[in-house]
């Protein structure tokens, strides 16, 4: 597969070089071209739906820096020992083989909006008629003073799945009884709102299963409240009494910074030392969105709620965590839902196919302890200002354990469903 994608890329690079001399050569081909930047829940879904539903009438290229994709969703279940790393890692083989998508394993460095070309890190240029930008998030490293990309080797963020996830798992397994884990959670808006708290639950589960109940997990939160708070706090009390402590800004008074050498987090109230420190910094849209001039002052990309089209460029759509999607949380489910709306609009633009009114949905499952799953979900519709929630639900406290177990098992079914919806059905 690697060699195949390389070869594909070789062709692109060659063609791109030729295009400098003969710009009309590439434009002369029959099929309209869609380029998708980012092969995650948003980008890969969009590529698959555009290719599948246009039945080959549109030429689709998917640019992704990594040859394999490890999902951030369910990576907490890997930390908790419920999933293997391999089971949350996916290839692009099916998208290339069964959907005719040109998968380019490389990094998109810039977008030349004037020329309608994506500029690759090696200088190659990939022309498009419509561009889908789905780069996920980047970190604002200095949102936590003392934190940096280098510091993440000592205090992993693990908020992009891959080597960071494995690093965090190693460090978690090395924690001894009585030692402390400190988490610094991010301010809004960020990827996967309940994620940090599910992660704290998985930390506690590992420690508890080793009998390390003298250990504590301290969560230092810049927010006054968090997603599914009542459900998590009830669950921590029930499963891990005395092990998980959450401190909001009223208690810690402000997070002053971290010292990776000493393994400490300084707050207004106290300095916390952790055998493991997990820092999840503030976030912004992925770098390419900034380079392409698609972001607003808050670091994310404004879109048209009807279509996911960038308000900055009518030929570009922005999906997933990088987009300002109104009431929708930054989640894989949201990105997958948005991708289908964008795909329909891209086809409408290029082939004149019918465009139905946009519908969006999201559900987020979280695991608190073995067989204790909870969920929150909503449906959304475009309004003049934003994508607005129309109806929603959340799991209740004091639910029947059988229902919690069913919710967990449902989440496994969802993972199987959404990953085959994103990457195509494997095998």
Partner 1 sequence: MRQRRRGLGRSAGLALAALSCGSALAGGDPAEGEKVFSACRSCHQVGEGARHGIGPHLDRVFGREAGSLEGFAYSLALRRKGAQGLVWNAQTLDVYLKRPQAYVPGTRMSFRGMAGNEDRANLIAYLEAASAGAPAADPGAAPAPRDEIGALAMNIEGDPALGQYLANECVTCHQPSGRADGIPSIVGWPRVAFVRALFEYKTNVRAHEVMRMVTRNLGNDEIAALAAYFGSLTPQ
Position 410 contacts partner 1 (CB under 8 A) = yes
The span of 9-17, 78-86, 138-146, 374-382 binding partner 1 (CB under 8 A) equals: 374-382
Q: With both helix axes pointing from N to C terminus, report the angle between 195-209 and 163-174 in degrees, rounded to the nearest 10.
A: 40
- Residue 66 CA to residue 91 CA, distance in Å, equals 9
Write the DSSP symbol of residue 120. Answer: E
412: left (phi over 0), alpha (psi -120 to 50) or beta: alpha
The one among 2, 383, 391, 397 contacting partner 1 by CB under 8 A: 391
CB of 157 to partner 1, least distance (A): 27
**Structure tokens, 409:** 């098992």
Tell me whether residue 271 or residue 392 sits nearer to partner 1 (CB atom): 392
- Residue 168 CA to residue 139 CA, distance in Å, equals 17
Position 397 contacts partner 1 (CB under 8 A) = no
How many chain residues interact with partner 1 (CB under 8 A)?
32
Position 237 contacts partner 1 (CB under 8 A) = no
Among 155, 161, 163, smallest CA distance to 181 is for 155
The one among 62, 155, 344, 387 contacting partner 1 by CB under 8 A: 344
Could you tell me how far CA 335 lies from the centroid of its own chain? 8
The one among 21, 225, 261, 354 contacting partner 1 by CB under 8 A: 354
Question: What torsion, rounded to 10 degrees, do the Cα atoms 154, 159, 160, 162 define?
Answer: 60
CB of 410 to partner 1, least distance (A): 6
Position 54 contacts partner 1 (CB under 8 A) = no
Q: Is the distance from CB of 176 to CB of 141 less than 8 angstroms?
A: no
Contact set for partner 1, span 304-343 (CB under 8 A) = 333, 336-337, 340
Position 139 contacts partner 1 (CB under 8 A) = no
Tell me whether residue 245 or residue 306 sits nearer to partner 1 (CB atom): 306
Position 409 contacts partner 1 (CB under 8 A) = yes
Tell me whether residue 109 or residue 327 sits nearer to partner 1 (CB atom): 327
Position 379 contacts partner 1 (CB under 8 A) = yes
CB of 281 to partner 1, least distance (A): 29
The helix/strand/coil state of 358 is: coil
CB of 37 to partner 1, least distance (A): 22
CB of 353 to partner 1, least distance (A): 10
Position 84 contacts partner 1 (CB under 8 A) = no
The one among 216, 347, 375, 404 contacting partner 1 by CB under 8 A: 375
φ, ψ of residue 312 to 5 degrees: the values are -95, -25
Position 192 contacts partner 1 (CB under 8 A) = no
**Structure tokens, 214:** 């003298």
Q: DSSP of 129-164, one letter per residue?
A: SEEEE---EEEEGGGSTT--TTGGGTS----SSSHH
Among 309, 344, 386, smallest CA distance to 45 is for 344
Position 225 contacts partner 1 (CB under 8 A) = no
The one among 328, 378, 382, 404 contacting partner 1 by CB under 8 A: 378
- Residue 226 CA to residue 84 CA, distance in Å, equals 28
φ, ψ of residue 297 to 5 degrees: the values are -60, -30
CB of 335 to partner 1, least distance (A): 11
CB of 381 to partner 1, least distance (A): 9
Among 387, 263, 245, 389, smallest CA distance to 325 is for 387
CB of 337 to partner 1, least distance (A): 7
The helix/strand/coil state of 278 is: strand
Binding site for partner 1 (CB under 8 A): 49, 333, 336-337, 340, 344, 354, 356, 359, 361, 363, 375, 377-379, 390-393, 395, 409-414, 416-418, 420-421, 425
């Amino acid at each position: 597969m690697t060699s195949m994608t390389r070869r594909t890329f070789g062709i692109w690079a060659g063609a791109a070089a030729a295009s400098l001399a003969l710009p009309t050569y590439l434009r002369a081909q029959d099929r309209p071209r869609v380029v998708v930047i980012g092969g995650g829940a948003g980008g890969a879904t969009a590529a698959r739906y555009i290719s599948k539903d246009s039945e080959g009438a549109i030429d689709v290229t998917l640019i992704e820096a990594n040859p394999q994709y490890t999902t951030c969703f369910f990576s907490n279940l890997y930390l908790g020992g419920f999933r293997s790393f391999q089971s949350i890692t996916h290839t692009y083989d099916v998208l290339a083989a069964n959907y005719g998508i040109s998968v380019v394993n490389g990094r998109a460095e810039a977008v030349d909006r004037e020329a309608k070309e994506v500029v690759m890190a090696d200088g190659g240029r990939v022309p498009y008629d419509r561009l889908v930008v789905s780069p996920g998030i980047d970190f604002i490293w200095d949102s936590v003073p003392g934190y940096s990309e280098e510091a993440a080797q000592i205090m992993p963020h693990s908020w992009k799945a891959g080597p960071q996830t494995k690093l965090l798992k190693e460090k978690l397994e090395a924690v001894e009884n009585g030692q402390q884990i400190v988490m610094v959670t991010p301010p809004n808006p960020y990827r996967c709102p309940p994620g940090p708290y599910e992660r704290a639950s998985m930390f506690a589960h590992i420690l508890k299963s080793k009998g390390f109940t003298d250990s504590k997990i301290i969560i230092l939160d810049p927010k006054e409240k968090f997603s599914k708070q009542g459900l998590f706090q009830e669950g921590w009390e029930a499963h891990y009494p005395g092990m998980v402590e959450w401190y909001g800004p009223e208690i810690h008074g402000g997070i002053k910074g971290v010292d990776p050498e000493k393994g400490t987090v300084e707050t207004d109230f106290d300095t916390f030392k952790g055998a493991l420190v997990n820092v999840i910094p503030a976030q912004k849209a992925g770098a390419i969105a900034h380079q392409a001039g698609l972001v607003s002052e808050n670091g994310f990309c404004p879109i048209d709620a009807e279509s996911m089209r960038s308000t900055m460029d009518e030929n570009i759509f922005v999906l997933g965590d990088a987009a300002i999607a109104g009431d929708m949380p930054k989640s894989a489910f949201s990105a997958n839902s948005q991708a289908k709306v964008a795909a329909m609009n891209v086809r409408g633009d290029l082939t004149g196919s019918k465009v139905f009114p946009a519908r969006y949905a999201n559900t987020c499952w979280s695991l608190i302890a073995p067989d204790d799953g909870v969920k929150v979900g909503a449906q959304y519709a475009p309004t003049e200002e934003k994508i607005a929630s129309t109806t929603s639900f959340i799991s209740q406290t004091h639910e029947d354990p059988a229902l919690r177990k069913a919710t967990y098992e449902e989440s496994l079914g969802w993972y199987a469903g959404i990953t085959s919806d994103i990457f195509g059905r494997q095998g």
